[in-house]
Amino acid sequence: MPSEATNEPFDAEVIVVGAGPVGLTTGCAMRHYGVDCLILEERTEVRAYSRANNLWARPQELLASIGLRDAIAERAYPVRLVNFFMNGTPTTPIQIDDVTSPHPQVLYSGQDVIETTLIETYEGRGGRMQRGGKVVAVA
């Protein structure tokens, strides 16, 4: 994959395009297994707002298997119960931690917080990231 700026190829075992939650998790997984990884991201900064908020039991189990779940949990609120109100009157609460899992509670956080945590972990594991360039072709 040549770099537009230098026309030199990038040197990495795996190149991931995009530093959203999926790309960053992939990068962290690569580093967890000792694979040399380079992430290319066109944004120069982490998004300053959230889009995804909730991590349910199954994704937490997957994240735990590559050593990511606890770092995210440290910056999240564990949720056991959801309360609904109808015209100001509370309705029956819904329990959401009644799932068989080592991590039954839902972790409530923000995508900006999750991305920042994943970047810190990825870089702490020796992952490389280059920002500010859009990938336009892969050869």
Stretch touching ligand FAD by CB under 6 A, among 2-10, 51-59, 69-77, 94-102: 51-59
Question: 35 φ, ψ to 5°?
Answer: -90, 135
Q: Residue ranges of the alpha helices (H) in the chain?
A: 21-32, 57-65, 69-73, 111-124
From the list 13-21, 72-80, 96-104, 120-128, the region that binds ligand FAD by CB under 6 A is: 13-21
Collect all residues with Cβ–Cβ distance below 8 Å to 18 and sequence separation of at least 6: 39, 40, 41
Size of the site for ligand FAD (CB under 6 A): 18
Write down the least CB distance from residue 102 to ligand FAD, Å: 20
Residue 58 lies near ligand FAD (rule: CB under 6 A): no
* 40 lies in the binding site for ligand FAD (CB under 6 A): yes
CA 132 from centre of chain = 19
Is 18 a binding residue for ligand FAD by CB under 6 A? The answer is: yes
